[in-house]
Structure 1
Amino acid sequence: MKTFCGRANPTTGALDWVEESEEYDFHQEIARSCYADMLHDHDRNEKYYQGIRAAVARVKARGEKVIILDIGTGTGLLSMMALTAGADFCYAVEVFKPMAKAAQCIVEKNGFSDRIKIINKHSTDVTVGPDGDMQMKANVLITELFDTELIGEGALPSYEHAHQNLVKEGCEAVPHRATVYAQLVESELLWSWAQMQPVEVKGARLVPPPAVGRCAGAHSVCDIQLSQVSPNSFTPLGPLCTMFSVDFSKPVSSALQSHSSQFVAQSGGRAQVVLSWWDLDMDPSGSIVCTMAPSWTYTQPKMAPWRDHWMQSVYFLPVERGVTEGEELSLTVCHDDYSLWYSLQSPSQQTPESQTKALSSRPCCTCQAHLVWTRPRFGELNDRRRTESYVSALRSVLREDSLCLSVSDGSLLPVFAHILGAKKVFGLENSRMSKQVIEQVLEANSIKGVELLEMRPDQLTRNDIGGEQISVLMAEPYFGTSLLPWHSLYFWYCRTALAGLMQPNATILPSSATLHMVAVEFQDLWRIRAPCGTCEGFDVTPMDEMVQQSLDFRESREAEPHPLWEYPCRALTQSKAIMTFDFTQCVPQEPVSSQGSLPFIRGGRCHGIALWMEYHLTHDISVSAGLIGPISEQGDCEWARHRKQGVYFFRQPWECSDDARVAVSYSFTFEPSLGDIKMDFSIKAL
């Protein structure tokens, strides 16, 4: 069945009507899932296998038949491990219908269909009895219900229901136990993702609104590859604390709970951030451990296993507070059935009333800024070097009689332009909430000369800007709807819509943008798109086939957005600007194409192409949303932290030796009517 769905085009701003199959969401969910990453996670798979073998052996030693309940079976891999380890029967529960179908194909292909029953339900809907989904209760519970925050996928309610209804008392569980760890740190880098910092502009100090400083921030966890945050970027204020453990072999509660850990501050500083991760003990003795600890906790960091389906968590305290070396502190973690949050107190302040307050004080944004600005956006606004580039560019183009219009979401550019002396400054905001956030900034700094307008560029009239013409049109450009780097070309469409309101010699800032590319070898990110074939001895090719069908379904040859600072890679070619977009002119009517080739200068395994935009504010000031420094002699890359780059993965990696005379041949076409960039790549001999 085909339907037409209205979707806002992130580049053109137009409402596009897209014909879609009812299966579209399923296909995209599969194509962009982390199943390949999990199947390639040998450490995870091996630890599960060891834990399952040990649990099956313990039940057999009691003279019992081994009946497995596998909740969240995915590909059925853990169920097949259980039968290989000697289990008698397995009930494998998978709520996602296409995945349940794939699991059915996989268990059949591996010869287990007579002893594995795939149940396409949520586990809380599964029934036990003669007419139920399960004929009997299980005595071994295997689960993979975890996310970066451990409980964010509903693990606790699922365990709670399973113990009440689906498994026998005293059952074995794999994993047996989870333990959550946390460390209190001071970090200017990480704290910049949570709070707006003061900004110096032309001798003036721009301060954040008081409501923003008092706000506890967004409630959601900040999950990142903490291994890529250098230990030099933070100062530990206390030891690594064991916050709480959950024994999955016993009844589990999803009720609101709190746990505290007391310690002595090992150094003084500003308590701002909590770094957190967890371990899984696969057996009761804790001898089989799967840890999420970042690589810098290892004596040999390169030995740390890589995974993207489970990362590490960063939590921001509701307010920063000073601590002194030797001070006694109490770190408290609270959790409901889906999320965690932290608070810091002195032990003397801990009372039943304070515990109740901690439980009820889950972070919730009250200032609106944390609803308008994402964490990377906070970091971008707090990036001093980036701010200096925009201020320098504005200073070079502004005059006393300048009438400025800013087109960016939740931007400080109108504030900068006013401080730098523009006669009139207007800012277009896409929503009432973002308008109100910038109004708070204006009020906190007693700025009266900036007028914010909540409307689209094509709605703006000369009356809205006092009957005058725009002399400076400016943008970062930043838009909350942008996913891929070139979606920010929405500014070009805004500039075109505003052409009739601008002076003939109006300044456009940025004046242009260039799309850049480099061929790369990823250290680990390639795993998320790599075929699996066999996994721990089991044939999982039906999963590969389903993913490939999903990739071919619609968005088969498109780039994906990824924050490459979290995913190390080596450049195998030089970087190259392959398309230029001239913002001083209106969007062209006809497609714009670019073809060429980029020679390999290093040997390696080329997994794909990294793509990003650079914005040329003036003839001598540019800002990169991709590479922010030269590529090293070994090919190492440093990427901008606050924007995602585009990654075009090849279906198969290309092997290239150091002395090979080959190049990446590329073809790009920008379709103005669609606001999209089509691309294709191949290898050719030189």
Structure 2
Amino acid sequence: MLKLKNQFQILLHVNSVNMSTFKQILNPITGRSEWEPQCENYDYHQEIARAAFADMLHDTERNQKYYKGLQLAIDKVHRQGFKANVLDIGTGTGILSMMAVRCGADSVTACEAFRPMADCAEKIIEKNGMKGMINVIKKRSTEILVGEGGDMSRRANILVTEVFDTELIGEGAISIFNHAHKELLEKNCIVVPDSATMYAQVVECPFAWSWNMPKVLANLDGEILLTTPADIQQCQGSAALHDIQLNQFPLKDVKFLTDPIAVQHFDWSGKTVLKLENYSSTKFTAKHSGSLQVVFMWWDLKMDTENQVLLSCAPFWAHPDYEQLKTANRKRIPNQNVIPWRDHWMQALYYLPTSPRIQESGEMYLNFHHDEYSLWFTVSKSEQKPLSLRQPMCNCGFHNAYSRTRAGQLNDNLRNKKYLRVLEEEIKKDSVVLVLSDGSLLGLAASKLCAKVYCLESSRYSSKVLQGYVDANELKNVKIINCLSEIDNLDEITCVFGEPSFLSALVPWDNFYFGTLLSQIQSKLRSDVTIIPRYATIHATAVEFLDLHKIRSPLGECEGFDLAVFDEFVEKSANLADSIVEPQPLWEYPCRALSKSQEILRIDFNKFFETKKTITEHQLKASGSCNGVALWVDWHLTGELSSKTTVTSGPVIEVEVDKYINWDIHSRQGVHLLPHPQLVKSNRTMTCETSFLPRDGDIHFKFHIQ
């Protein structure tokens, strides 16, 4: 994390670092592969900076329930007349090991395979006065040797570990537990946590389904312009999870067809050997009629052998402590935000391979499958064990070529109508259109309005999908090209169109690659060529995030342990490896506006290569804790400044000071997170200095709060 002094002032790039190596990167704005100077151990620092160690340690409920589970386990072993010998697998900062010491463990062994983190843990342990009380082993748990001369002199009788992810088993938990019980633990050991239960809830949700399956594209009169190719309609899609903050999901678009179903129990205690592959089938009765489209998934942990301590990752409507938490956290608005927030363990969506209809009170089976690292769901009319546990795989290319966010954009009717309205007004029957965007169905749809369409596709995956649309819809006047050099052999271009959207883009302004491409061919275009969009603007607003800032905030003290060493460790790496603006889907992370939105940079695509620099002042009209700045791009399709011809990647309604912002759900925004929040009162000023070097593909931001 970046250190702040009396005034908050940060540059996008840290230029004072001693650079000694070069790393090849793709510049998304220029499209060039470039050798960028990096510090010698850049990958190492990046891994530290991007790890979720701090995020987990800001999870107070997780910390306290692990603490309680350890206390119960150690007390139980002592009551049985034995010494409590604790093994901590994946110790990270060492906090669980230090908890074990404070709970009275007789010996503690901490295992951490990531050497820099293990070194940091040793320093933290020493700082907290526990040097010599915890043995840190710097290797994988599966490499630990037990016995005389080994890493551990004897097996442990208590295991504490947190080797879980959003999918529960994605970090290899099954193999880790099986090996530990076989090689590292006594037969009647206690494990913290003792077990886990996975829950699933089947829903009909066309909104979520739009992230999985493209719909037909119709014009403003409802006439179908593009149908979806048969191979995409029949594809089983991707079994990969879609991790998401379900507490922020628009439930008005959800029809719950089942109650939550406990689909699988994972016993970590060692009483049974965990299967690397497994299958279960649960019969359910539909609460309503509808299409079985999407499965919501989450899990909980039973932290002790008596199931007294439960840590639940359920969304608010299914959380066992929701009413109690709502009473205790009345200041958290709206109510779904009272649930303990965590970004390391979210909930997940799984898209069913087929979406059969079911009638109210109808019965079907929800089938749960998992291999060593992942899981997936199917539905069936009967309880039939599958012949193979292989995951459903995409065979149409669409699900591999485009992100969930991009699929949602392609299906966004309001967004599409804005583009189609402008296309209908700007292009003629004899127009020749060049499309500079990846996977633009709108570009294909323009073929119904003009004489010829050329689509530039640099990705062979996206090109294949688009060609499938061309063939399925018999678009005789569309040609897909793979490089701009082919433009010399094309008909004279009268219109250049882009959404713009490119597969390489992370933050919204990465799509300024449209301007780079346009500039490369501008000399070959007519002076009266129509450019859509005409220009773009970057906007910013100061915000108070409810929770998101925790992923970059220093810890200081956590559960009574001094973790300043860890803060310095992460801060140093973040200074070397992280940009100060990162992409985030802000609809999942509530934030309150402290200032109005303000334009901070304007890009005219007819004059793209002009270097630009602006300084803007933002009046903070609301008091609060300023812990971030949100940034986004508006695409202005014509010269007219109108909401009817502007497509935003930011707020979908005007930003109101002191109100929560409603973000476009199909875009990622740019976010700068302050590691040290600034307590501000109204009428303070934030200055934003923005510079754009288009030939280098660099955008620099500098923020200053008086």
Secondary structure in 1 aligned to 2:266? Answer: strand
Q: Aligned residue for 1:437?
A: 465
1:379, distance to aligned residue in structure 2 (A): 0.7
Provide Cα deviations, 1:496-544, integer angstroms capped at 9, x if missing partner: 0011221111011101000000000000001111110110001111110
Alignment of 1:99 onto 2:129: no
1:62, distance to aligned residue in structure 2 (A): 1.5
- 1:303 maps to which of 333, 338, 355: 338
Q: Aligned residue for 2:403?
A: 374
Give, in whole Å, the separation in 2 of the partners of 1:329 and 1:151.
26
- 1:350 maps to which of 349, 363, 383: 383
- Aligned CA distance change for structure 1 residues 510 and 344 (closer, same or farther; 3 Å): same
1:42, distance to aligned residue in structure 2 (A): 0.5
Alignment of 1:7 onto 2:33: no
1:673, distance to aligned residue in structure 2 (A): 3.0
Provide Cα deviations, 1:193-244, integer angstroms capped at 9, x if missing partner: 1111112125224221111111111231100000000322211111210111
- 1:583 maps to which of 587, 605, 617: 605
Q: RMSD over aligned Cα, in angstroms?
A: 1.4
- Aligned CA distance change for structure 1 residues 361 and 519 (closer, same or farther; 3 Å): same
Q: Aligned residue for 1:47?
A: 65
Secondary structure in 2 aligned to 1:532? Answer: coil
Q: Is the 8 A contact 2:652 2:662 kept in 1?
A: yes
Q: Is the 8 A contact 1:246 1:252 kept in 2?
A: no
- 1:71-470 equivalences in 2 (<5 Å): 71-201=89-219, 203-250=223-270, 251-297=272-318, 298-299=322-323, 300=326, 301-346=336-381, 349-351=382-384, 355-357=385-387, 359-419=388-448, 421-455=449-483, 457=484, 459-463=485-489, 465=490, 468-470=491-493
Give, in whole Å, the separation in 2 of the partners of 1:288 and 1:265.
32
Provide Cα deviations, 1:259-284, integer angstroms capped at 9, x if missing partner: 12112111100100000100000012
Q: Aligned residue for 1:649?
A: 673
Give, in whole Å, the separation in 1 of the partners of 2:167 and 2:279.
15
Secondary structure in 2 aligned to 1:69? Answer: strand
Q: Is the 8 A contact 1:669 1:679 kept in 2?
A: yes
Give, in whole Å, the separation in 2 of the partners of 1:363 and 1:172.
37
Provide Cα deviations, 1:110-161, integer angstroms capped at 9, x if missing partner: 1222121112212112221222221211110111000001001111111111
Give, in whole Å, the separation in 2 of the partners of 1:212 and 1:122.
42
Give, in whole Å, the separation in 2 of the partners of 1:284 and 1:156.
19
Give, in whole Å, the separation in 1 of the partners of 2:498 and 2:276.
47
1:171, distance to aligned residue in structure 2 (A): 0.8
Alignment of 1:636 onto 2:636: no
Q: Aligned residue for 1:665?
A: 687
Give, in whole Å, the separation in 2 of the partners of 1:494 and 1:426.
14
Give, in whole Å, the separation in 2 of the partners of 1:558 and 1:530.
13
1:302, distance to aligned residue in structure 2 (A): 4.1
Q: Is the 8 A contact 2:596 2:657 kept in 1?
A: no
1:95, distance to aligned residue in structure 2 (A): 1.4
Secondary structure in 1 aligned to 2:690? Answer: strand
- Aligned CA distance change for structure 1 residues 269 and 625 (closer, same or farther; 3 Å): same
Give, in whole Å, the separation in 2 of the partners of 1:397 and 1:418.
13
1:440, distance to aligned residue in structure 2 (A): 1.0
Give, in whole Å, the separation in 2 of the partners of 1:29 and 1:6.
17
Q: Is the 8 A contact 1:126 1:134 kept in 2?
A: yes
Give percent identity, aligned residues only: 39
Give, in whole Å, the separation in 2 of the partners of 1:671 and 1:137.
60
Q: Aligned residue for 1:605?
A: 625
1:168, distance to aligned residue in structure 2 (A): 1.0
Q: Is the 8 A contact 2:583 2:671 kept in 1?
A: yes
1:333, distance to aligned residue in structure 2 (A): 0.5
Alignment of 1:60 onto 2:78: yes
Alignment of 1:574 onto 2:596: yes
1:69, distance to aligned residue in structure 2 (A): 1.1
Residue identity in the other structure for 1:523: L
Give, in whole Å, the separation in 2 of the partners of 1:45 and 1:139.
21
Q: Is the 8 A contact 2:627 2:677 kept in 1?
A: yes
Residue identity in the other structure for 2:206: E
Q: Aligned residue for 2:647?
A: 623
Any stretches of 5+ residues in structure 1 without a counterpart?
A: none
Q: Aligned residue for 2:47?
A: 29
Residue identity in the other structure for 2:368: V
Give, in whole Å, the separation in 2 of the partners of 1:324 and 1:633.
46
Provide Cα deviations, 1:287-310, integer angstroms capped at 9, x if missing partner: 100000112333334431011010
With normalisation by structure 1, the TM-score equals 0.95
Q: Is the 8 A contact 2:267 2:274 kept in 1?
A: no
Secondary structure in 1 aligned to 2:500? Answer: coil
Tell me which of the two structures has the higher relative contact order, counting C-alpha pairs closer than 8 angstroms and 6 or more residues apart: 2
Q: Is the 8 A contact 2:553 2:674 kept in 1?
A: no
- 1:551 maps to which of 570, 574, 578: 574
Residue identity in the other structure for 1:237: L
Give, in whole Å, the separation in 2 of the partners of 1:413 and 1:430.
17
State how many pairs are aligned: 667
- Aligned CA distance change for structure 1 residues 571 and 4 (closer, same or farther; 3 Å): same
Give, in whole Å, the separation in 1 of the partners of 2:122 and 2:39.
24
Q: Is the 8 A contact 1:281 1:289 kept in 2?
A: yes
Q: Is the 8 A contact 2:194 2:268 kept in 1?
A: yes
Provide Cα deviations, 1:315-352, integer angstroms capped at 9, x if missing partner: 01001110001111110100001001001112xx223x
Q: Is the 8 A contact 1:429 1:452 kept in 2?
A: yes
The 10-residue stretch of structure 1 (664-673 or 240-249) with the greater mean CA deviation from structure 2 = 664-673
Give, in whole Å, the separation in 1 of the partners of 2:656 and 2:354.
39
Residue identity in the other structure for 1:204: I
Any stretches of 5+ residues in structure 2 without a counterpart?
A: 1-18, 327-335
Secondary structure in 1 aligned to 2:386? Answer: helix
1:356, distance to aligned residue in structure 2 (A): 2.5
Q: Is the 8 A contact 2:238 2:399 kept in 1?
A: yes
With normalisation by structure 2, the TM-score equals 0.92
Give, in whole Å, the separation in 1 of the partners of 2:281 and 2:40.
48
Give, in whole Å, the separation in 2 of the partners of 1:5 and 1:552.
17
Residue identity in the other structure for 1:470: I
Q: Is the 8 A contact 2:539 2:601 kept in 1?
A: yes
1:585, distance to aligned residue in structure 2 (A): 2.2
- 1:480-559 equivalences in 2 (<5 Å): 480-555=503-578, 558-559=580-581
1:365, distance to aligned residue in structure 2 (A): 0.8
Secondary structure in 2 aligned to 1:132? Answer: coil
Residue identity in the other structure for 2:43: D
Provide Cα deviations, 1:374-398, integer angstroms capped at 9, x if missing partner: 1111111000001101111111110
Q: Is the 8 A contact 1:414 1:450 kept in 2?
A: no
Q: Is the 8 A contact 2:601 2:614 kept in 1?
A: yes
Give, in whole Å, the separation in 1 of the partners of 2:118 and 2:199.
34
Give, in whole Å, the separation in 2 of the partners of 1:24 and 1:154.
26
